[in-house]
Structure 1
Amino acid sequence: MDYSLQNHKSYIGRPITELPTPSLVLSKPVLERNTKLLLEDVKKLGITFRPHVKTLKCTEVTRMMLGDGLHRKIVVSTLCEIRGALELVNEGILDECLYGLPIFPGALPHLHNLSQSVKVQLMIDNEQQVDILENYFEKMSPKAAPWSVFVKIDVGSHRAGLMTESPSLPKLIQRIESSPAATIHGFYCHAGHSYASRTEDAAAAVLEAEVEGVGKAAKFLINEKPDRQIVISVGSTPTAHVVRRLQATLPEVMELELHAGCYPSNDLQQVATSLVTPEQQAIRILADVCSVYPGRNEALINAGTVALSKESSDFPGYGTVVDRPQWCVVRMSQEHGILGWAESEQTTRLMEHTGSKSSTGEKAESAFKVGDKVLLYVQHACITSAQHFVYYVVDEQDIVRETWVPWKGW
């Protein structure tokens, strides 16, 4: 068993320099500021909010994202996230969980069981999924209420969903509406391609395209049933950062809902969009310097692929040293990370924000010694967080004040 999982509470009250490594360090003040900012934007717009809990997957952050019950529904990527969130159902601050993958047979019995404790909604983008729901429905005795579903719309990321121009979309809508096993609650899209945005204007354009895309899809149903109330759910963290700029207007029968997930923590991918500052990153990985190699101007740390992930962005490497951002993890194996010099426009930007110690031509033997602790900003908070069994939650002075255990499994 991981040592931190057995002993994490013993580090409360201690500085992060005393933590076992590699460790995931979470800044609670940054989490709170980031969460509050989006909740305020949503409130000003008067729209519904459904946080995606896949990034940090824990009770404490989910409670924060919901505003302690101000908003009462979430979207999840795994069954374990629903199971973990049942604690918030029992607290009376969560009512609804959307399972974010297009439904498949193996998940249905688990989702049915979970629906006895909380309202569970499903994602549909193929008529075969309706067949699966009907087959399961036929076997149930007594018959349950039809599943509440979102139709998944592809607005450009080409990961899941149907394009609004697809002839399969109106057929799918009719198929669901004629089924005893499902009823359409709304239309959902995720603009994963918004991560390529580099300005507010670009992100705002993607957001407008999201609303236009799901709104167009919803009209297939509204044209048939003009009094039908329909939810259209849009969002991603980059577009959520500019939701205050939303200009789209919708028919009265459409309720606009925003979803986003990475925004409490952020990461280098988000900083690369220019929509958040480096200081808005709540996650850092603490690692030990294990060796230094002057001949190749590199250093070895004990944080490799399974502590960081092999995600990338405009920032070079797989993680950046917080106070020396021109040093980054340039290569990795499973448990080994190699720090190397990687000067770029993005690392220069980080230097300006952090008051970095780095200087052009700095040598590894000057920057690092065996036994040094280094803190790394990460490329993708969602995948990095999934590698760690405990989060060490710190205050502004990097003193551990709490430890949070995330939900694990599928």
Structure 2
Amino acid sequence: MSAASTIGCRVEELITPAFLVDRAKVEVNCRNMLNTCKALGVSLRAQTKTHKTIEVAELQTGRTRRGLVTSTLDESEFYADHGFDDILYGFPLIPQHMERVAALTARLNQFHVMVDSRLAVETLRETPTPLGKKWSVFLKVDCGNNRAGVWWEDEHGVDLAVTLHECPSINFMGVYVHCGNSYRSETPKDVDKIRDETIELLLKFVERVGRRGVKCPVVGIGSTPTCRRPGPSMKKISELHPGNYVFLDVQQSTIGSCSQDDIACCVATRVIGHYPRRNQLLVDCGFLGLTKQGFGHMATGYGVIRDHPNLRLIDMTQEIGFVDTIEGKLNYEKHPIGSLLYVIPWHSCATAAMYPFYHVIQDGVVIEEWKPTRGW
């Protein structure tokens, strides 16, 4: 069944596996984050990498189509093509990006890049800007996530901020931190601790930059776990940039970011076989329909099977999933061959990336199809 033919279909009519989105829950999740930022007195620069669609980006921005952060240049171009502006390419800049960066800088009122290396800064200094424009640049800082960014204690990062500030062809926009280490939390208190420590370390970095005569107009942090648990320390910064909050997932529920009822997406899959000898069902959702993120040995498996707390997805091959029970024997009469199960993914960003379009569901009927952009 093609994307053009599913609107008006019931879920039971869809080819499986199928990625289902509850629009009402997405709307609530987006509205809540906008309200959180308003209450804190900070701006929201919404990360798009979870969904990569026009429809959700409109909800994230309150339909202003202003203020996004992307993870790929493809996303940046996609949103520019659809009338979005004030877009940050939130990925470490390298020289090979510059042709596309220049084109986006020329066509948008505000297009920003992110740097964390001397090479990136020198590339911007040496590359002529589009007519009448300057490069708009954020400095990425690492406060414990151990991914991209200059280390917050390293004077090299302060030197880069000074260089950006002093370059006549560059607008230095400020600093950004991703609190990705919050995903390794085991309790909500761990998330709160990472949130507050990250802000404290980032502000120490900003203070050192300030002592060199450089202001940071924007001081931003992000990650859905920290932004879904706002605290008073967030009033000390100026911008939040979470992304996963639009869909949420099982991983978020395990660290206290949400309840399972808040999760706005799932994968519909059909039972394709009964295997009493090993107490298993097979379903038509393998790792190409879900990814293999998660833990097969845990109660959550590779995703929670909705409304069936005793079922667990324990393993997958490319197109097949293996389902057994947490305890006791399977009741095969409850799950006839051809019947549907709904798997709430461990990681919604990765799962959504498996599908060329999303079925948007209301009362068991497809009301819209959202087509994400793909590529880099």
TM-score norm. by structure 1 comes to 0.85
Pair 1:108 & 2:114 matched: no
Aligned to 2:175: 187
Aligned to 1:327: 311
CA contact (8 A) 2:21 2:266 kept: yes
CA distances 1:334-379 after superposition (whole Å, capped 9, x unpaired): 11111122x3xxxxxxxxxxxxxxxx41316344322111111001
| Counterpart AA for 2:220 | S
Aligned pair partner of 1:207 in 190, 195, 202: 195
Aligned to 1:36: 31
User: Cα distance, 1:200 vs. partner?
Assistant: 3.8
User: Cα distance, 1:208 vs. partner?
Assistant: 1.6
Aligned pair partner of 1:368 in 311, 335, 341: 335
**Counterpart-to-counterpart distance in 2, 1:310 and 1:280:** 22
Identify which range, 170-179 or 25-34, moves more after superposition: 170-179
CA contact (8 A) 1:16 1:400 kept: yes
Aligned to 2:88: 98
In 2 relative to 1, CA 183–116 (structure 1 residues): closer, same or farther, beyond 3 Å?
closer
**Counterpart-to-counterpart distance in 1, 2:5 and 2:208:** 57
Aligned to 2:54: 59
**Counterpart-to-counterpart distance in 2, 1:379 and 1:298:** 21
**Counterpart-to-counterpart distance in 2, 1:249 and 1:66:** 20
| Counterpart AA for 2:357 | V
User: Cα distance, 1:136 vs. partner?
Assistant: 2.9
User: Cα distance, 1:248 vs. partner?
Assistant: 5.4
User: Cα distance, 1:10 vs. partner?
Assistant: 2.2
Aligned to 2:18: 23
In 2 relative to 1, CA 136–398 (structure 1 residues): closer, same or farther, beyond 3 Å?
same
**Counterpart-to-counterpart distance in 1, 2:347 and 2:92:** 23
CA contact (8 A) 1:297 1:365 kept: no
Aligned to 1:122: 113
Aligned to 1:217: 205
**Counterpart-to-counterpart distance in 2, 1:201 and 1:335:** 38
Secondary structure at 1:115's aligned position in 2? helix
Aligned pair partner of 1:11 in 6, 13, 19: 6
Secondary structure at 2:45's aligned position in 1? strand
| Counterpart AA for 2:351 | T
Aligned pair partner of 2:281 in 299, 303, 306: 299
User: Cα distance, 1:318 vs. partner?
Assistant: 1.4
Could you say what the CA RMSD is over the residues aligned between the two structures, in angstroms?
2.0
**Counterpart-to-counterpart distance in 2, 1:8 and 1:109:** 34
User: Cα distance, 1:225 vs. partner?
Assistant: 2.4
Gaps of 5+ in 1: 344-359
Secondary structure at 1:392's aligned position in 2? strand
Aligned to 1:74: 68
Pair 1:278 & 2:260 matched: yes
In 2 relative to 1, CA 97–315 (structure 1 residues): closer, same or farther, beyond 3 Å?
farther
CA distances 1:60-99 after superposition (whole Å, capped 9, x unpaired): 0000000111x7211000112112212542xxxx431111
CA distances 1:236-293 after superposition (whole Å, capped 9, x unpaired): 10011112x223564xxxx610110010110001011123110011111011211121
Aligned to 1:398: 364
In 2 relative to 1, CA 14–35 (structure 1 residues): closer, same or farther, beyond 3 Å?
same
Aligned pair partner of 2:232 in 246, 271, 277: 246
User: Cα distance, 1:186 vs. partner?
Assistant: 0.7
Aligned to 2:222: 235
Aligned pair partner of 2:239 in 257, 268, 281: 257
| Counterpart AA for 1:247 | S
**Counterpart-to-counterpart distance in 1, 2:125 and 2:331:** 63
Aligned to 2:135: 147
In 2 relative to 1, CA 315–281 (structure 1 residues): closer, same or farther, beyond 3 Å?
farther
Secondary structure at 1:403's aligned position in 2? strand
Aligned pair partner of 2:43 in 21, 44, 48: 48
**Counterpart-to-counterpart distance in 1, 2:270 and 2:239:** 43
**Counterpart-to-counterpart distance in 2, 1:48 and 1:203:** 21
TM-score norm. by structure 2 comes to 0.93
Aligned to 2:351: 384
**Counterpart-to-counterpart distance in 1, 2:35 and 2:82:** 22
**Aligned sequence identity (%):** 29
User: Cα distance, 1:25 vs. partner?
Assistant: 0.3
Gaps of 5+ in 2: none
In 2 relative to 1, CA 95–131 (structure 1 residues): closer, same or farther, beyond 3 Å?
same
| Counterpart AA for 1:208 | D
Aligned to 2:79: 85
